[in-house]
Amino acid sequence: MKRAAAVLLCLALLLLPGCAPRARTSTVYAMDTVMELTAYGDRALVDEAVTLIHDLEEHLSVTAAGSDIARVNAEGHADVDPGTARLISRALDLCKLTDGVLDITVYPVVRAWGFTTGKYRVPEEAEIGSLLEKVDYTAVTVHGERVTLPQGAMLDLGAVAKGWTGDRIASLWREAGLKSGLVNLGGSVQAIGGKPDGGAWRVGIRDPFSEEVLGAVSVRDMAVVTSGGYQRYFEENGVRYCHIIDPAAGRPADSGLASVTVIGPEGVVCDGLSTAVYVMGLERAEKLWRENQGFDLVLVTDSGEVFITDGIEDSFTPMGDYEDTEIQVIRRG
Ligand code: ADP
Ligand code: MG
């Protein structure tokens, strides 16, 4: 009887609103973006995540001297952190899945256009041609912690680093027993569990043509990652050049898509695919989605049309200017 009373008391305490875990938050500037962390649990979990972010940035940055990636690029080979080796292997799988539309060796071309250094320019065709000879993810090898590149090649994990970071934070928090959290790493969102009240997280997707959101997707334990040409670009003679490069052309992607959002359980996959799908354009994206399982898409074309895949038909809600837009659903079959 005493035990039953104790159980009831515990239940009552759990149900009291004051007993719900408090939101612990932190805002961090890392990986060239503003990151926002929220955990409904211990403050220490947020602090550990911030440490993890800085640690990952130190390993993965292509520009910071002494990072794993900078060392591989300088010497052509290096022993790297086991986590970095794992990420490179995962990224190479995604390069293969996308037929090289994602290519983590495209860095010499990215650099020639001035992305990552900020010294923007439009390179000559001949220069692009000779740099493209160095671009070939299939020639990268990872044996244990040893990463080796062919002569003149360079790695850049910018297309997958934030998604991977989200995954690492999610694992850290889940292993610590956290039931509810949200991580926004500048366009790369990771939901841990649902909201503290048990409902799904509603993650906003930005309208590529304004500062508003175009809609929201309801998720639990999912990553929601957006790539778009509006995020980082420069203009010259009225032409806009974005930071996502089509490795087949050595030029900024111009596929007719203004933004791509990928929703799935793993941030690293969503991040890699969002970059690749942005380069592919609508038709190839549909094909990739039909031939593979485990992710959904929200695609916005340059003319403002919105396409979603059928897995999120019930969880996607258009908002603002898009409430009156017809949302076109891509189905399997
Ligand atoms: P963001 O970091 O702005 O969210 P992405 O995840 O789409 O954007 O990654 C873009 C970054 O990836 C670029 O800044 C560049 O470093 C790198 N990159 C650009 N094009 C490609 C590509 N086709 N394959 C792999 N990496 C790329
Ligand atoms: Mg990406």
According to the model, what pLDDT value does residue 232 have?
83
The residues with which 297 forms a beta bridge, in sequence order, are 262
How far is the C-alpha of 260 from the C-alpha of 191, rounded, in Å?
Answer: 18
- For ligand 1, say whether the CB of 24 is within 6 Å of any of its atoms: no
According to the model, what pLDDT value does residue 13 have?
47
* In the predicted structure, residue 330 carries a pLDDT above the cut 90: yes
Torsion angle of C-alpha atoms 130, 127, 252, 227, degrees rounded to 10: 60
Q: Is the dihedral of CA 240, 326, 191, 255 positive or negative?
A: negative
Distance 274 CA to ligand 1 centre (A): 9
- For ligand 1, say whether the CB of 271 is within 6 Å of any of its atoms: yes
- Which residue type, as a one-letter code, is found at position 325? T
Could you tell me the domains of the chain? 2-57+160-330 (3.10.520.10), 62-148 (1.10.3980.10)
- Reference 270, options 307, 301, 298; nearest CA is 298
How does residue 1 score in pLDDT terms, banded at 50, 70 and 90?
very low
- For ligand 1, say whether the CB of 215 is within 6 Å of any of its atoms: no
Q: Which atom of ligand 1 lies at the shortest distance from residue 226's CA?
A: 4
* In the predicted structure, residue 6 carries a pLDDT above the cut 80: no
According to the model, what pLDDT value does residue 3 have?
56
According to the model, what pLDDT value does residue 11 have?
52
Q: What is the pTM of this model?
A: 0.93
Of 19-23, 265-269, 281-285, the one with minimum mean pLDDT is: 19-23
Per DSSP, the three-state class of 294 is coil
* In the predicted structure, residue 123 carries a pLDDT above the cut 90: yes
Smallest-distance ligand from the CA of 276:
1
How far is the C-alpha of 13 from the C-alpha of 20, rounded, in Å?
Answer: 9
How does residue 5 score in pLDDT terms, banded at 50, 70 and 90?
low
- For ligand 1, say whether the CB of 164 is within 6 Å of any of its atoms: no
139-177: pLDDT as tens digits: 999 999 999 999 999 999 999 999 999 999 999 999 999
* In the predicted structure, residue 221 carries a pLDDT above the cut 70: yes
Distance 275 CA to ligand 2 centre (A): 4
* In the predicted structure, residue 84 carries a pLDDT above the cut 70: yes
Pairing of strands 33-40, 23-30: antiparallel
Distance 200 CA to ligand 1 centre (A): 29
